[in-house]
Structures are given as structure tokens and as C-alpha cells.
Structure 1
Amino acid sequence: MSQHNEADDLVATMTDGYKPGEKKDLNELQQLDANDESLNKWKASLGLNQAEIMFPDDPRTVIVKSLVLDAGGHKIEMDVSSSEKIAELKDRVIVIKEGAEYFFKVAFYVQREVVSGLKFLQQVKRLGLPVDKTEGMCGSYGPKNELQEKVFPLATAPSGMMARGTYTVRSKFVDDDNNCHLEWNWTMKIKDDWK
């Protein structure tokens, strides 16, 4: 489902001096300080004691279900739960009213292992030229048998005659270990109304 481009210009920024810790599987994490009761409670709150896998036939660690653009009374949901649903988005144009305030909300599952530093990256281009790049931190998550959500800060769509038109958008979810969990392209159109 994810694509990798050698000259990828949509990469997460790295914090100077930050190095992700050594990757450990759930069994190793459960065994660390196994006699520490408070640490065991903390591990349980992260879902580190859950052996059950939500989607056993799905090998993915992060399963992104949807990305919702919420502009008050206008909610536009992009179902990105499968390759087929993502393919449908390529033919769909998302219309956004110029100057509208909106936020994105993502819904996802994490299974099998801890995901450190999950980020949402997005690049917007017009006529092939980059006009905007967004990087939103989701956080670190342990496996959990429930849908998790992250709401990103409020943004404002561009406005004015020059801003109206069609934009191509590339969105992706990556983590601190440079794993790309999902990547897709979609089209948005800025118009003077929602239609």
C-alpha cells in the first residue's frame, strides 16, 4: 500500500540529537522489570500486556481507518482502510470552501507492537509546485483493541481568487523508525462555496 520514492520530499523533520531507542518486541517489554508493580500497571495502561491481535489476517502494525476533514457543519471523511478505498479517493475531488476553518481527525488501530513517534505528514501542490507542508505528531502507542483518534490543530483554507483551484495532496503516516504505515494521494479543490 505504501510507495517509496527515492527523491522523497515528504519526510519527517528530525530533532537534533534525538535517536530512537532500540526496538523491542512486546515480549521483551513485558519482561523488563517484571517485579515492579507500578511499572507493570503503567505497561498495562499502554496495552503491553495484550496478546490478542485485533486483525489477525492483517500484517500491518498501524491500520489507519479514516481521515476526516471537519469544517464545522461540513465533515468530509476519507476512508483509507484498504487499497480499494484508497483507489476510490483518486477519482474523488474534495471541495473545500475558501477561508473555511477546519481540522483533521485521524482514526486508527495499533496492533502487534509499540509504535513510537507516529506522525501525519501532508504536502499540498498546485500545478506541480509545493504550496504547503504539514507535519502533525500523533504520539507513541501500544497495541490496543479499540479505535484510537487524534485531532490536529485548527487550520484555515486559503482564500481569494488566486487561491481557488485544484490542488494535489500527498498524505502519509510514518514513525520514528522510518516505517511508512500508509501513503496515498488525493485531490482537493478550493471554491467560493462548498459545492
Structure 2
Amino acid sequence: MSSDIGTVSSSKNFMGLDENKELLEAPAPAAVAVQETPAKKPGPEIGESESCEDEDGEAMIQLGPQCTLKELSEKDKDDESLRRWKEQLLGSVDVNAVGESIDPEVKILSLAIKAHGRDDIVLPISEPRKGKAPWFTLKEGSRYKLIFTFQVSNNIVSGLKYKNTVWKAGIRVDNTKEMIGTFSPQADSYSHEMQEETTPSGILARGSYSARTQFVDDDNRRYLELNYTFEIKKDW
């Protein structure tokens, strides 16, 4: 499965595979020569950004030290353009009500699969996964979208991302990563709709799959991790 409201959906094949093709893992990328660069002074200066890598080796940008929302609202009050930017970012957030926590809190409230011609499949994420029973079943060749809602509190969450890895018979067949966005804390929940996907069809596509879904941010905070199995069948 792949993941702000209003995103234009586009159809693509499930797990990047064409129908009736064998499930094969993509070859590893060729080695790239690394050129030495001059030593750099530790830590960014004020106004500078620092590049680092997440747990998957992907580059991330850290925009200086974090601060609480109260500290952010108090900074550079005489800068009109910055004040307007902060108003747009924070909206109607009451900075005195969210406390003085540096770390944001993101709670995934619901996950649902919306398939054509069928009622939504609501996945009970609050319940612990027990045993190896499949969490859900998809029909081969069917089109569907993943929809989830979440709530942000305490502080701004920067670069919230959805990651999903799928295996079949021990072979990795999909590794999806999608940027969701940056969100300020608010009482109302946010909703996000993923791009439409199509499950593969054919005898090779049918069967049981194992998967791991994660929601993380730019600072590699992990807000949810789900390990589960699902099936693709000839019919629902």
C-alpha cells in the first residue's frame, strides 16, 4: 500500500508491478564512488541548515535547533513578514494551551481502505495484532485508496512521512515512501488520502503477504509501526 487533503490521485499498479508479471525484487543499485570533502565545523550556525541521513540512508535537512511554540511565537516580533508566516503556519493555535514541549505528538486515529464498488475496510489499529491471521483481503485487479486520519499536539510536526514495505515468500516486493507534510497542533484531526493503486492479478499475484507500515517525521520520530499480513485473492 502507498500515503494533505486535496491531493490529486493517480492510478498505478500495486507494488509497482505490471499484471501477470512475476514478483521479483529490484536489483541493488551500483556502487557510487565517494569523493572526500573538506572537514566542516560541527553544528549549524544560526540560519544555516544541516544535512543528515535517516535510518534508511536518505538525506534529511534539519533547520537548526527546535523550540517550543511559545518560543517560536515570541521570536522576531518586529519582522512583519516572519509574523505573517508564523500566523499562517500556526493558524488559530493557542500557544499557551499546548504547553512548552519541544517534541510534537502525532496520533494515528484511523486507517481505512476505500475500494471501488465496496464498503470501506476500516482497520482497527488500536487493537494489538495477534497471530498470523491476515489483517485484510484485497481482490486481484481491484482499485483502492488508503485513507487515514491523525491528530497533532504539543508542537509542529515537520515532514511527516508514510513508509510501507511488503514481502511475499520472504522476497521484498514493495518499498513505498510518501511525504505527507508539515502540520501544526490543533484540536481537529487531519485527514490524508493516498494515491489510487491497483492490485496485481494472476496466479503469481495471489497469496499471502507480510508488511510493515510506519509513520515517521524528519527527526526520525516513529509515531506508529504496524506489522501484519494480508492476502490477495481471486475475489473478495
Instruction: Specify the TM-score bucket, using the shorter chain as the normaliser.
Output: 0.7 to 0.9
CA distance in 1, matches of 2:201, 2:216: 30
The Cα of 1:37 is off from its aligned counterpart by 5.1
| TM-score, with length taken from structure 2 | 0.66
Q: 2:121 aligns with which of 62, 76, 85?
A: 76
User: Where does 1:129-168 land on structure 2 (aligned, <5 Å)?
Assistant: 129-168=171-210
Gaps of 5+ in 1: 1-9, 54-58
With CA pairs under 8 Å and 6+ residues apart, which has the higher RCO, 1 or 2? 2
Identify, as 1 or 2, the structure richer in strand. 1
Q: Which amino acid aligns with 1:147?
A: S
Aligned position for 1:4? none
- The 1:89/1:149 distance shift into structure 2, 3 A limit, reads farther
Partner residue of 1:122? 164
Whichever residue aligns with residue 79 of structure 1, its letter is: P
**What is the deviation of 1:70?**
1.2
Q: 2:105 maps to which residue? A: 61
Shift of the alpha carbon at 1:60? Answer: 6.9
1:132-159 alpha-carbon deviations (Å, 9 max, x no partner): 1111111011101111011111111111
CA 1:86–1:60 in 2, change beyond 3 Å: closer, same or farther? farther
* Unmatched runs of 5 consecutive residues or more in structure 2: 1-53
Pair 1:134–1:89, CA change in 2 (3 A): farther
Report percent identity of matched pairs: 35
CA distance in 1, matches of 2:58, 2:169: 28
2:78 aligned partner? 35
Is 1:183 aligned with 2:233? Answer: no
Task: Give the structure with higher Rg (CA).
Answer: 2
Q: For the residues of structure 2 that align with 1:191 and 1:175, how far apart are their CA atoms?
A: 34
Number of equivalences: 175
State which drifts further: 65-74 or 130-139: 65-74
Where does residue 25 of structure 1 map in the other structure?
A: 68
